[in-house]
Amino acid sequence: MPENVPIVSVPASPTASGPVSAIASAPVSDPAPASAAGVEPVVRSGRERAGGGPRSGLPAYVLGSPFALRAPAGVTQCPPPPPDLGEPSAARFVYGLTPPSATATPLIAHEAADAVLDVHGVEDELIEPALELVHELAVHACRFTGAGEMVHLVLRRADGVLQVVVHDTHAPHFAPRLAGQCAERRKVSLAVVRELSERHQGEWGFAAAQPPAAGVCTWATLVRVPPAPPATPVPPVSDAASGAAPGRAA
């Protein structure tokens, strides 16, 4: 991964989630051009644990890439080893989906993720934000992938972190001015993703995809559900206030 594009922050304000047709809507309109040539997009590292790397223990872009999970074996085993025969676990899983860039893709990704979370018994409090994150990232990937091309989505959970990753085919620009403008478009497109991830103590960002993948890899994580505010206790009604005689029912 190029050292100058590890994780790009998204300072844009959160916006409401839109329908599937929002793939081609206003959030990806051209931003104002940079004031001077050579201005690069704002780049900084994502939130990390004190004294260590990202929560997953490995860089998010490595975990996110469908091509960087395992080095190819030197010798092909035949017959191949058996599949995982264990029971589905809510704590650890990984699934991938490669649909076309189309208006139906966010809905298909949402339904597929819903089935995964249900089969693995993920806690109810995390299902709604996870499905919204899948939908928003699928919309984002389709915005940056032309018709007839494929996007790739990965849904995984490990070490208490639920991660959603998408790959689009819009390659990074070499010209600084174009790179800055394109980064701004991506930041606006990811406003809801940013709000979801930060609300759940996660991290998010985008970077150039690692070979042999092309385009850009975008990821976001959910760590936990925010605790509900404590309920306000209701004071008991005194006998004097109720009008009843002390020690007797009204």
Rounded to two decimals, the pTM is: 0.68
**DSSP code, position 2:** -
What pLDDT, on a 0 to 100 scale, did the predictor assign at position 211? 79
77: which 2 tokens?
């085993």
Q: How far is residue 170's CA from residue 168's CA, in Å, rounded to a whole number?
A: 6
Decide: 127 and 119 in contact? Cβ < 8 Å: no
Which residues have a Cβ under 8 Å from the Cβ of 231 and sit 6 or more positions away? none
What pLDDT, on a 0 to 100 scale, did the predictor assign at position 15? 37
Q: Is 183 helix (H, G, I), strand (E, B) or coil?
A: helix
Q: How far is residue 119's CA from residue 142's CA, in Å, rounded to a whole number?
A: 27
**How many beta carbons lie within 10 A of that of residue 239, not counting itself?**
13
Q: Is 51 helix (H, G, I), strand (E, B) or coil?
A: coil
Per-residue pLDDT 10s for the chain (250 aa) are: 333 333 343 433 333 344 444 565 434 333 333 333 333 333 333 343 323 333 444 444 444 444 444 555 678 888 988 998 999 999 999 999 999 999 999 999 999 999 999 999 999 999 999 999 999 999 999 999 999 999 999 999 999 999 999 999 999 999 999 999 999 999 999 999 999 999 999 999 999 988 778 899 999 999 976 666 677 777 776 655 555 555 555 4
Query: How far lies 56's CA from each of 71, 94, 203, 231, in Å?
Result: 19, 14, 10, 34
N-term to C-term CA, the chain: 75
What pLDDT, on a 0 to 100 scale, did the predictor assign at position 210? 84
Decide: 56 and 63 in contact? Cβ < 8 Å: yes
Q: How far is residue 191's CA from residue 248's CA, in Å, rounded to a whole number?
A: 60
